A and B are shown apart, each in its own frame.
Chain A
Amino acid sequence: MILLSVIIAIIPLILVVWDVVVQGLPAISLSFFTENPPSPLAGYGGILNGIEGSALMVGLATLIAVPLGVGAGIYFSEWPESRLAFLSSFMNDVLAEFPTMVMGLFFFVLIVETTRTFSAVAGAAALSVIMLPIIARTTEESLKIVPVTLREASMALGVPRWKTIFRIVISTGKSGLATGILLGIARAAGETAPLIVTAGYLSFPPRALFQPTASLPYIIYNFGQAGYSNWTTVAWGAALVLVAFMLILNISVKLYIGRKSTGVRAEI
């Protein structure tokens, strides 16, 4: 019975991955990673603009979201009795469930309208707010499972609380932290809706921060519904690249955790 439901649950996943691979593979070649998208009915070209745009925006978003999210997660986990932690932890849950389109529109008003241009900065801001609650929550969860006896052992040695948190608690829970950050990156890399209203599209790689910027999800969205057969294949190819990126990210998370939990040797 359980086996049956597991099989039913993974069938759609397998079908989607299969479809993406079959449809996207014809577009993949070395030039797919080095060229910009083609004109209608003129070969497959490449998705360099999307790869670079996504890398730029996800990178910027990570730079913003990691310190804030990890900081918030530490606060939620280490000061649970604080009212502010309770309140902001609740807000964090709300944020995690927030429609990402609304988040995009918020930054449209805040950044796109005030700077009068779609931009990588607006896109990165929207993505960072989407990553933030994921990172904060996984940080909190991975620090909470660090046994209280380790904190006490450290405190009993005369180590101040903040040092106990940063040197003992975080180092013990760091594989969970890394997982959270990678999950946040994977989530942000796949977001489409907020980028449509914040980053827009550009047919070549980004050259400035305040300029419309392409992204992989936008290419999938835009080229996929255009109706030109070569563009459809480009969209499938972009989807394949994105799915492969996420799979690699997820597998490396698993490998990293596996290595951590079995590692017996440590450095002097």
Chain B
Amino acid sequence: MEIQTEFEAREEETKLSIPTSLSNVQPKFETRGLKAAFGSNWVLKGIDMKIPPNKVTAIMGPSGCGKTTFVRCLNRLHELTPGATVEGEALLDGENIYARSADPVAVRRRIGMVFQKPNPFPTMSIYHNVVAGLTLSGVRDKKKLTQAAEQSLRGAYLWDEVKDKLTNSGASLSGGQQQRLCIARALAVEPEVLLMDEPCSALDPTATAKIEELMTNLKERYTIIIVTHNMQQASRVADYTAFFYLGKLIEFDETATLFENPREELTERYITGKFG
């Protein structure tokens, strides 16, 4: 009897895990029963989700819902925190990044990340910040590095603002510029997926608008997953939006559908501002 109910519940969750319009698309990322904990505190309680390629997918939810932990599981960053554990599977192009044979360093090279607060390396110049991922993995070819620097800075809409001061410290830029520098740094290693953990939460509206515009352009080349607690932002930039609550995926759908016609009562209450 109990097994039956659990099976049904599971079935229902699987239906939620992908918007119907995506059922025939090969997902870029797929998680199966992904759980994560700090010590004995399980902050992710089994996430089944399929993330489509070359789209912006927003992960939304109130504080403590596990959205940040979720994306930190996707590039195996969560496990670096002392006492943190992960269970379940996360498949990147069908291959489990948590398989025994998977190398976390190689996984992280394929998945770029932009953090909540801009975090350029303070001892490095703008130029060195951008190519840090390359130089630290042993690329020495000067020509290739300068090329990658320009290309990534252009990609992050920062080139025109910094091209004359590439030798200045990365810390000398404004907050918004620093965040775009961090995006350029992530782009320089040519990842396939870009994880963005509330990338605009420390920025003013102008800088936020720039980064949102940037995201829309970057999705042609990258799969973008953005964590946000800002519903307006999700509705502006995301093609698909997932709503997390207390470590569970409550609903995942096309952004417009999720906001205008949510299936779950919990989602509706959240987007109408009744809690959160």
Q: A residues bordering B, Cβ < 8 Å?
A: 80-81, 147, 149-160, 163-164, 167-168, 171-172, 174, 263-268
Cα(A157)–Cα(B77), bound, Å: 11
- Find the B residue at minimum CB distance from A173: B123
15 contacts between A and B (CB under 8 A): A81-B82, A149-B117, A152-B113, A153-B119, A154-B132, A156-B112, A157-B112, A157-B132, A157-B185, A158-B133, A159-B132, A164-B136, A264-B172, A266-B123, A266-B169
| Cross-interface CB contact of A157 among B106, B133, B171, cutoff 8 Å | B133
Contacts of A159 in B (CB 8 A): 105, 132-133, 136-137
The interface residues of chain B, by DSSP majority, are classed as mixed
Q: B residues bordering A, Cβ < 8 Å?
A: 75, 77, 80, 82-83, 105-113, 115, 117, 119, 121-125, 127-128, 132-133, 136-137, 166-169, 171-172, 182, 185-186, 189
Contacts of A147 in B (CB 8 A): 119
A152 & B80 in contact (Cβ 8 Å cutoff): yes
A158 & B189 in contact (Cβ 8 Å cutoff): yes
Cα(A151)–Cα(B274), bound, Å: 38
B168 & A156 in contact (Cβ 8 Å cutoff): no
B167 & A167 in contact (Cβ 8 Å cutoff): no
Cα(A263)–Cα(B107), bound, Å: 35
- Find the B residue at minimum CB distance from A153: B119
Q: Beyond A158-B107, A264-B168: 18 further Cβ-contacts under 8 Å?
A: A150-B119, A150-B122, A151-B80, A152-B115, A152-B119, A153-B121, A154-B121, A155-B77, A156-B111, A157-B108, A157-B109, A158-B106, A158-B133, A159-B136, A168-B136, A172-B121, A264-B171, A266-B168
Contacts of B128 in A (CB 8 A): 266, 268
A157 & B136 in contact (Cβ 8 Å cutoff): yes
Shortest CB–CB separation between residue B71 and chain A, in angstroms?
Answer: 11
- Find the A residue at minimum CB distance from B116: A149
B136 & A268 in contact (Cβ 8 Å cutoff): no
Contacts of B172 in A (CB 8 A): 264
Shortest CB–CB separation between residue A135 and chain B, in angstroms?
Answer: 21
- Find the A residue at minimum CB distance from B81: A148
Shortest CB–CB separation between residue A140 and chain B, in angstroms?
Answer: 16
Contacts of A150 in B (CB 8 A): 119, 121-122
- Find the A residue at minimum CB distance from B182: A153
- Find the A residue at minimum CB distance from B136: A159
- Residue among A158, A163, A171 with most chain B CB within 10 A: A158
B82 & A265 in contact (Cβ 8 Å cutoff): no
Cα(A156)–Cα(B77), bound, Å: 7
Contacts of B167 in A (CB 8 A): 265-268
Cα(A219)–Cα(B77), bound, Å: 57
- Find the A residue at minimum CB distance from B171: A264
Shortest CB–CB separation between residue A172 and chain B, in angstroms?
Answer: 5
Contacts of A149 in B (CB 8 A): 115, 117, 119
